[in-house]
Each structure stands twice: as structure tokens, then as C-alpha cells.
Amino acid sequence: MQTSYPREKVRVLLLEGVHPSAVRMFRDHGYSQVESVTGALSESELCKMVKDVHLLGIRSKTQLTKKVLESADRLLAVGAFCIGTNQIDLPTATGLGIAVFNSPFSNTRSVAELVIAHCISLLRRVPEKSEAAHKGEWLKSHENCFEVRGKTLGIVGYGHIGSQVSVLAEGMGMQVIFYDVEPKLSLGNAQSVRSLDDLLRKSDIVTLHVPGGAGTKNLLNAARFAKLKKGATLINYSRGDVIDLEALAKAIRSGHILGAAVDVFPYEPKNNKEAFETPLQGLPNVILTPHIGGSTHEAQASIGLDVAGKLVQYLETGTSVGSLSVPPLTLPVQQDTHRILHIHANRPGVLGEINSKLSKLNVNILGQYLQTNDRIGYVVTDMDKRTSSKALEALKKVKHTIRVRNLY
């Protein structure tokens, strides 16, 4: 399908070393202006880089603030080549009509496998024994070392990753319980519990897989650690601010918690040269990793294809399914039509005004699609080519319009 704006003029900027699979997909679709940058950029650097960029790809470290998004006057869509989007100012993106896509499934297996590996390593106290061996010490002992078979794994957040961990854990002979704020269908023999406190009391290992945000900040704090089964271990592969790390360090030093594996932190270095600090450094039987839960070739290649595919689809057809800002529409490709995309504030009468203006121009509407969220509406109109030459300018004048794009 030939789009109104030539593909060779579309500027794509990919930050933080987005996988080459994404670059290949863009170029296979005819987008030749694809720039890749390794590492994250500061706000001031971003404000300069995003000018005249149509598609922007980031990972978890790049912070898309209100200032950055407002500097990107040509930006149509953002692809978060990861699961989380708390690094993006979604309210601002929504208000500007910028579509934001992520990849909620693609690294699920990679994260789940590493969680299972940590379950075994922590219960066998591998970290401290490995460290001792590197120092020339021989710590051969079975004290506080256990099999995972028969142990109870408590999963907090039974979404894509949590449920996958559940399946793998049962394959290892573990008993699985889980807590989620929403009703979830349990897989295998996993059992839901009524409360987080109930899960903490019953679990030998607790693993966290919850989203970030005000509702989960310091979800596990000193009071919750006191309710955790004595001798339990803790794994966090969700978000950095979900755990009070000072309280966790204190619980480990006291012996109440026998070990922890943490992959995400409240503050993470922007690149591999910046120093990293956490209260958990130097503690026994603690595994610290630099946000690598999804850092496998398989996961990153899959994420690259998934997010790039969504961006291409949005640019070429207007389909917005999977967007966290623009309301979701699945759109068919129409031949011999003009397709105009209209994003507007969600106010009464906008659709009526759109159709009134088109009617005054004697435009023959061949198809029309509408979806809204609490803030904006998204209308896609397919028109007869013979009658739609003035439609674009007319729709720009509709009250509450945020942006209008002539797709083809």
C-alpha cells in the first residue's frame, strides 16, 4: 500500500541499542532513514535528537518527559522495546495524540527462566559459595541449603511472567501459590490466596512480577518483611521501587530473610560506565544483576520484531491495537480510497462535526471507525478518492482536534 508520506522521508530513531531485528524490519518496509544509538540520552540531548523524528524507539532507561515529547513536533509514535512504560509520560503522550506501544509478552520466557535459576541458586546458597571459592576459600557445607522440590513458591502478580514462572516451578516439583489484585485463571495446580500477607506467611520463596506505579511503591517494606516466613528468600524482577531496599538489607542482616535476587532498582545507571550503588551490596547470599531479566538474544530479537511491527502497522494502516495512549482500532486495508486519521479530545459532538464537514464537501464515506478512551477519541475515515480532495483541510478545523493525518 502506497502511503501519502513517502517511506524514505520517515525518520526513525532507535535508542539504547534496540535489537537489529527492528532495524531490518523498518528497512524491509522501505524506511531508509533509520538511526540507531547505543545508550540512553539526557533530557536536553533528547530534546535536540527528537526534532523531526517520526518514530522513536527506546528501552527502559530513556526518560520521555513532558518536555521531550513536546519538543518532538513530528513524532507520531513511540515504541518501548521492553515491557514497562513508566519511563514515558503517558498522559502527555495521550494528550498529544502520540501512539505508545510496548512488548508485554516477548521476554516472558527469558525472565521466567532466570527466576527459576535464582530459586535454585539461593536455596543452595550458590552466591556466597562461589564468592568464597574465588577468594581461595572452601565452603563445603549443607547448612541452610535445600532442594526446591516440595518448597512453596509465592508469586506476587500472576500476569504473563508470573504465570510462566508458575508452570516452570511446578515442573521442578514446587508448590505454587499466587496473589493478584485481579481474578486470574490459575495454571496447573497453582492456587490463589486471599491476600499478600497470606502469601508471605506461607511461601519459602517469594517472587515479584507487578507493574510499577504509586499502587506498588514499597509494596514490600519493613512491616511486610516481618510477616514473611522466617528463612524465606525473595526475588524481584518487576520494578525497582516495589521493594524498600534498606528494609530488605536489614532483614537479610538479621537472618530473617536468607537470600535475595534483585534485577531492578529505584535508580539505575544510564550506561555501563556509570557507577552503581545499592544497600544490598556486600550482603551474603544476594544476587544483584543489572536489569537483565529479558536480556537474551531470543527475547530482544522477538521484542524488536514485535514493537517494530506495531509501529509499521500504525504508520501504514492506522491500526492502533496494543497502544497505551491512542484508543485501539483494528483496521482493514482499503483499496482505491483516501484514509484520514483524526485524533481529538474526547468531547461530545466531535464525530458529528467531522461528518457534517464531510457532508458539506459531498464526500462519500466508504468506511468509518471510532474508538475512545477517557481522554481522546480516534476516528479513521475511508473516503471515495473522487470526492475527498478538500477533506484533510476541513478536518483540521474540527473543534477539539489534536492531530490529523492523511494516511493514503
Question: Are 191 and 153 a contacting pair, CB within 8 Å?
Answer: no
Q: E strands, 263-364, where?
A: 286-288, 337-345
CA dist 122 and 118 (Å) reads: 6
The SS3 assignment for 391 reads helix
Instruction: Encode burial over 361-397: b for 16+ CB neighbours within 10 A, e otherwise.
Output: eebebbeebebeeeebbbbbbbbeeeebeebbebbee
Report strand pairing: 11-14 vs 152-156.
unpaired
Distances (CA, A) of 393 to 35, 279, 340, 403: 32, 58, 11, 11
Query: What is the chain's length?
Result: 408
Cell 562461589 appears where?
A: 130
Tell me the catalytic residues: 239, 268, 291
**In whole angstroms, what is the distance from residue 324 CA to residue 20 CA?**
24
User: Is 47 within 8 Å of 73 (Cβ atoms)?
Assistant: no
Q: Which residues fall within 8 angstroms of residue 236, CB to CB, at 6 or more apart?
A: 207, 208, 242, 243, 260, 261, 262, 263, 264
| Closest by Cα among 159, 172, 255, 252 to 207 | 159
